[in-house]
């Protein structure tokens, strides 16, 4: 009998209900009262974003307890990956997507683990897709889709869900268009603490 050995995995880490309803509402209230018209070039359509690579401008700097809670998850994720556990959040921001918006494929340079927490979404919200990093995947025809040959993997956003992944992993909306009135998420990057 032939056996299978799994090599060179790429993992996504998730935790449902990471934020409770009170924490979500606190973040949403802040966003509502501090809404910005700044856009992010990675999006098409109507999107407000507070992305700024400067760590002093990080959205989560306004919420120490939540930032510390995220930091704990990052350290757990770092242990699972095998990283040193001196990673810290380097920048954070929120994105408010309106109807007919889309997130382009992208990675997060100058970061080791990136993440997102969904604050507001519904069944009409666009999924988050991750692209298989194997550059030769499209050279073959596959008759049985499995984790060895998926081109993309999608996650359905749920309020309070946190996702963590290696920052080099390509992700975006794929061809999905956001159809919800508002899809709101907080994102962040990490790097080793010097």
pLDDT digits (tens, 9 = 90+) for 50-73: 888 777 779 999 999 999 999 999
φ, ψ of residue 112 to 5 degrees: the values are: -105, -50
The answer to whether position 144 is within a domain reads no
Tell me, what's the pLDDT at 148? 84
Q: How far apart are CA 147 and CA 98, in angstroms?
A: 32
The answer to whether position 8 is within a domain reads no
The upper half-sphere exposure of residue 105, i.e. CA atoms within 13 Å in the direction of its Cβ, equals 10
Residue 99 maps to which CATH number?
Answer: 2.60.120.620
For the chain, what is the domain count?
1
pLDDT in tens, 2-14: 998 988 889 999 9
Cβ(51)–Cβ(92) below 8 Å: no
What residue numbers bound the domain in which 86 lies?
13-133+151-192
The answer to whether position 1 is within a domain reads no
Tell me, what's the pLDDT at 52? 81
The answer to whether position 141 is within a domain reads no
The answer to whether position 98 is within a domain reads yes
The answer to whether position 146 is within a domain reads no
Give the global pTM. Answer: 0.93
Tell me, what's the pLDDT at 7? 87
The answer to whether position 145 is within a domain reads no
The answer to whether position 172 is within a domain reads yes
């Amino acid at each position: 009998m032939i056996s299978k050995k799994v090599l060179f995995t790429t993992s996504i880490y998730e935790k449902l209900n990471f934020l409770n309803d009170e924490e979500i509402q606190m973040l949403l209230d802040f966003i509502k009262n501090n809404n910005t018209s700044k856009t992010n070039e990675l999006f098409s359509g109507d999107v407000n974003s507070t992305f700024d690579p400067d760590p002093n401008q990080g959205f989560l700097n306004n919420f120490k307890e939540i930032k510390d809670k995220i930091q704990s998850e990052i350290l757990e994720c770092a242990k699972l990956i095998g990283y040193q556990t001196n990673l810290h959040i380097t920048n954070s921001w929120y994105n408010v997507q309106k109807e007919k918006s889309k997130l382009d494929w992208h990675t997060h340079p100058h970061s080791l683990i990136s993440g997102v927490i969904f604050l507001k979404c519904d069944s009409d919200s666009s999924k988050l897709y991750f692209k298989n990093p194997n550059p030769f995947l499209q050279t073959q025809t596959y008759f049985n889709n499995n984790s060895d040959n998926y081109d993309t993997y999608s996650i359905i956003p749920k309020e309070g869900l946190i996702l963590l992944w290696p920052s080099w992993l390509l992700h975006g909306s794929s061809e999905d268009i956001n159809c919800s009135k508002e899809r709101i998420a907080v994102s962040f990057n990490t790097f080793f603490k010097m």
